[in-house]
Amino acid sequence: MLDRGLLAVALLSLAGAAVKIYGSLVYGSRALLVDALTCAANMAALAAMLWYLHVSRAPPDEDHPYGHQRLRYGGALASLSAYMFVAGASAAALVYSLGGYTVEAGSTAAALAGSAFYAAAIYVARGIDPVLRVYAGFTASELIESGVTAASSWLGASLGYLYDLAGGVAILAYLLHEAVETHHKLMKIFADTAAPQHFYELVEREALLRGLHPVRVRLRMVDEKHCSGDLIVVPEEGMPPDVADILADELQQELHSHGCDVVIHVGLQERRNSNQSRRNGGKHYN
């Protein structure tokens, strides 16, 4: 199902790109030219996404004991790079065209036809993989660009090239905005952000069900759905150490099934300290 979905996204994106590139070459619209350049970046981004999704499926190894899931975000970085290159090329083309040019009405139809293919690609991409949502976010700009291109090219053909040129500037501005938003999303992932509260609640609930009291829990997000980390648990008073180890292994497997890969340390010394503190009337963590 995943491979078929990716193939559908690739074919739909390719069709949308072909229509817009053809229209920009034939009908002279600079707005459609900027739109078409983003289509080329879109295809490069999709190729990078597919490659990094493939390598991210490799099993854990000595250098990547937690797996290769984060390699998926290499595709998002490649997308950002491709769109920034296109932004520079688009800006140069718009500046070069300030002297004037001719826009033909056929560019409007090309923009609308290309948008239909990209709308279908976005719909498929959003339901496949979290990383492809970054791709879909950039591809969503193709729909906005198509609307702007259709309007500005029609006005450019009817009233003058400056309307079409203004459309190209608007598309470029939106492209830069999307780049900034994607940068923020990537930094949130790469900054080892703490896991959401529901992961901590899951750890505490499952540990206490097994008579294990968490005294330290550290969790970080590996991607949008999975976390990793470590925790120290203290067995309840009277629990034999071998039983505590078995229950800790069971807890580890349960958390793994919920997308949280953790290393668990059974703190027998912490239990002795806690019991001593209790006898002395001191406070302890539960």
Q: What is the pLDDT of residues 191-214, one digit of tens each?
A: 777 889 999 999 999 999 999 999
Residue range 2-190 in CATH 1.20.1510? yes
Cβ burial, residue 240 (10 Å; 0-12/13-18/19+): exposed
Model pTM score: 0.64
Residue range 197-279 in CATH 3.40.630.10? no
Q: Extract the tokens encoding 141.
A: 């700009």
pLDDT of residue 205: 95
> Over 50: is that where the pLDDT of 242 sits?
yes
At 112, the pLDDT band (50, 70, 90 cuts) reads confident
Please state the domain extents for the chain: 2-190, 197-279
The mean pLDDT value for 66-92 works out to: 86
pLDDT of residue 1: 45
Higher-scoring residue by pLDDT: 274, 150: 150
pLDDT of residue 283: 37
At 119, the pLDDT band (50, 70, 90 cuts) reads confident
Which strand ranges, in their side-by-side order, compose the sheet holding 212-221? Answer: 212-221, 227-235, 260-266
For the ranges 41-45, 67-71, 143-147, 241-245, the one whose mean pLDDT is highest: 241-245
The mean pLDDT value for 9-33 works out to: 87
> Over 60: is that where the pLDDT of 32 sits?
yes
Dihedral sign of CA atoms 95, 79, 145, 176 in order: negative
The mean pLDDT value for 40-54 works out to: 81
The mean pLDDT value for 255-282 works out to: 69
